[in-house]
A = this chain, B = another copy of it.
Amino acid sequence: MNVFQKILILLLSVLLTATFAKEHPTIAINKSEARAIREALGKYPLLDKSYAAYETFVNAALQRVIEVPPPGEAGGYAHEKHKQNYREMHQAGILFAINGEEIYAAFIKAMLDEYAKMYPTLGPHPRSFKQKPGRLFHQTLNEAVWLVHVSIAYDCIYNWLNAEDRQRYEESIFRPMIHLFSVEHAEMFNLIHNHGTWSTAAVGMMAYVLDEPELVERALYGTNLDGKGGFLKQMEQLFSPDGFYMEGPYYIRYALRPFFLFADAIERNEPERKIYQYRDEILRKAYYSVAQTIFPDGIFPPINDASKTMDIADIGPMIANNLTYQRYGKNENLLAIARLQDRVMLNQAGLTIANDFGDGSTVAELNWGSVEFSDGYDGERGGLGILRTGSGKSQTMLLMKYGVHGKGHGHFDKLQFIFYDQYHEVIPDYGFARWINMEPKHGGRYTRENNSFAKQTVAHNVVVVDETSQNNANRKKGDAHWAERHFFDGNGSDIQVMSARANQQYEGVAMQRTMFLIRDEKLEHPAVIDLYRLQSDSEHQYDYPIYYNGQFVVSNVAFDVAGNSLRPMGEKAGYEHLWKTAAGKSDSTIIFTWVDGGRYYSLISAGTAGTEMLLGRIGANDPDFNLRSGPMMMLRLRAADHLFASVIEPHGFFSEAREMSRDARSVITSVEVIGHDDEGSVVDIRGKRGLHWRIMVNNGAPTSGEKTVSFEGKTYRWQGNYAIEKLN
């Protein structure tokens, strides 16, 4: 398109806008889509189920007296009622658009009548808590969510309403809200943060309904129209070039909704803005980066502050999945995700995916394979690595986090890993310390243990230096010091590997973690090899903690068990929350076996003189019982340079119900560090069935060339960043 064509199109669009009243609905569904859905009903199970769910939900609402209560506290009755009201209006609007039954329009009108009476009487919400107050809700965020949904409802009944009613709603509700978001709380509106995204989407979507191009501009470019804030800037700054969102998938899933709903409203009304192409298709990448990080059961890995149960079936990812599939092209894994979501949007996007999904019988199991994402808006600030093998329920997944801190929700856990097997976290991350929305638990907000435990390094599967958290658990320092990618090979073969460094988390201590996910015919299931290298000029205490679920079975360490008296492991940095349940020593290979979910797991770890092993349980110094109890173990020793070399091996089978147990002992029985230096590490792993592997890893700059290291007069050679020699 040349300049002349562009100008012509611009002129035409201005002319059209001026001449014709806008057609409604216009931001989420239009008349031809509505017709298409009417005609498709009865053909596609996902569409039918979704339509039926809308009907059930809204028809139940029609039976009740409309209630628009005075504002109340977060999570309380009034709060939940206003949330329910916007959901009911939104779904009633879509139903009216599709089936034209006036009872749905009348329902929305009756509810808006109540809001139009109350809203002008409200001042700032009295119960806000460090948040920007809304009027209906204690924080603007909820109010913006309300408006996003009501803008769709209003759009759907716009033509059905008379001009007088429209004017009344706009003056009493919508314009004051737009003013609240984009004038009174302009600072938040311009914020590069997911809360800002809701505000801009709410204003921008309603702007299309109201046909107010200036408001669209404000939503896109910020209140000063200078592009330093607003929706486009958020698209630029909140994601790495790969689409990875620095706060992690749990937080982005909530922002996916305004990102995609507003983007789709733009695409529908101003396709010439090419919003879906913006920043090299950043919305596609953003959604794919969310979809590709999920565990095989659809749950988001708990990275940083995060729920342990939020999943891809949530509404934001469902919308993103539908629109990504429609707008960016078909993908088998998105169809597999549609199965987990079990519902679709009621518009062309939902129709498209429901059509392709059919009854699901030909849709393959979810299997993204291994993937790495860069982190930071410039993609130069570490990343996130995921190794996968197998598919669906029998997928094994190993995730390592080596990106940016993640601001206020960040945890001090660079090089953290999660091991997932048998459809659950086997080596878990604690997630957030929060009982979300549970009123008696600190109002459902983050509990104090989120700072004192969940964010601390020792709450993770990461080495702690001198009983102090990374960057002294200082958020500003954390934000300034990300980890670094080293190498990643997620080729899907029997040997996959990822390696990363964290050199700025502890002063004077360099850390490198190299993790393998390995399949071998001598092992029943894929196993993990973890080489965690520490290097310093001076001696430190290195603690290597591993959290697990289930029941400790057996160890070759003779533990001194704290049977009659328990004390915390320490006094600060999260140690004060760990009961020390046992301690032992070993100077050779340590084997520690537990049982979880019908399978045995063993940690087999090289021991050197002076290695201590502690066992612990979460829950000390927790006066309100906010923490979940759970077991952990920890290797400890004092050293300057050290390599923690371990295998995590799943093995055997246990069923209490069937009274069966086999292979309760690991195949791997020995891990021996041959040597490690700045060039490389060499580790020997031995076990039953003649198993003997030699692991060689490049500790220097990434290379595809030959590597040579010598330890105790013996030379070891390999090609590239890593090698596993099977010596038997």
Interface residues of A (CB under 8 A from B): 75, 80, 307-311, 314, 435-441, 444, 551-554, 559, 561, 563-568, 576, 579, 581-582, 593, 595, 615, 617, 619-623, 625, 628-629, 631, 654-657, 659-662, 664-665
Contacts and interface: CB of A to CB of B under 8 A. Distances in A.
Main secondary structure of the interface of A (DSSP, over half): loop
Contacts of A568: 564
A657 B309 contact: yes
Given A80-B662, A307-B656, A659-B436, A563 B621 contact: yes
B623 A563 contact: yes
Given A309-B657, A552-B625, A629-B629, A440 B665 contact: yes
Contacts of A657: 307, 309-311, 314
A566 B552 contact: no
B625 A661 contact: no
Nearest to A431: B656
B444 A563 contact: no
Nearest to A77: B662
Contact of A441 (B553, B565, B623): B553
Given A80-B662, A551-B628, A657-B310, A563 B440 contact: no
Contacts of A660: 437
A615 B619 CA distance: 13
Contact of A656 (B308, B439, B551): B308
Nearest to A577: B563
Contacts of A80: 662
A152 B375 CA distance: 66
Nearest to A593: B440
Contacts of A659: 307, 310, 436-437
A423 to B, nearest CB: 15
A193 B299 CA distance: 49
Nearest to A660: B437
Given A564-B621, A621-B563, A441 B554 contact: yes
A501 B119 CA distance: 63
B593 A661 contact: no
A225 B519 CA distance: 62
A83 to B, nearest CB: 10
B437 A661 contact: yes
Nearest to A559: B623
A584 to B, nearest CB: 12
B75 A439 contact: no
- Which of A80, A565, A655 has its CB near the most chain B CB atoms (within 10 A)? A565
Nearest to A308: B656
B564 A567 contact: yes
A662 B438 CA distance: 8
A664 B561 CA distance: 38
B310 A438 contact: no
Nearest to A662: B80
A439 B310 contact: no
13 contacts: A307-B657, A309-B655, A309-B656, A310-B656, A440-B553, A440-B665, A551-B628, A561-B622, A561-B623, A563-B621, A563-B622, A565-B566, A566-B566
A620 B581 CA distance: 9
Given A617-B629, A623-B563, A438 B661 contact: yes
- Which of A552, A566, A628, A654 has its CB near the most chain B CB atoms (within 10 A)? A566
Given A310-B657, A444-B661, A551-B628, 7 more contacts: A75-B661, A308-B656, A437-B661, A438-B661, A440-B664, A440-B665, A559-B623
A595 B628 CA distance: 12
A692 to B, nearest CB: 24
Contacts of A576: 564
- Which of A440, A628, A665 has its CB near the most chain B CB atoms (within 10 A)? A440
User: Which 8 residue pairs of A and B lie closest in terms of their CB atoms, listed nearest first?
Assistant: A440-B554, A566-B566, A309-B657, A563-B621, A552-B625, A437-B661, A561-B623, A438-B661
A91 to B, nearest CB: 17
A564 B571 CA distance: 9
Contacts of A438: 553, 595, 654, 661, 664
A620 B631 CA distance: 14
Contacts of A620: 563-564
Contacts of A553: 435, 438, 440-441
Contacts of A440: 553-554, 593, 664-665
A75 to B, nearest CB: 6
A654 B561 CA distance: 37
Contacts of A564: 567-568, 576, 620-621
A358 B695 CA distance: 57
Nearest to A83: B660
Contact of A436 (B308, B444, B656): B656
A654 to B, nearest CB: 6
Contacts of A581: 619, 625
A310 B660 CA distance: 12
A666 to B, nearest CB: 11
Nearest to A552: B625
B566 A579 contact: yes
A78 to B, nearest CB: 13
A599 to B, nearest CB: 12
A15 to B, nearest CB: 47
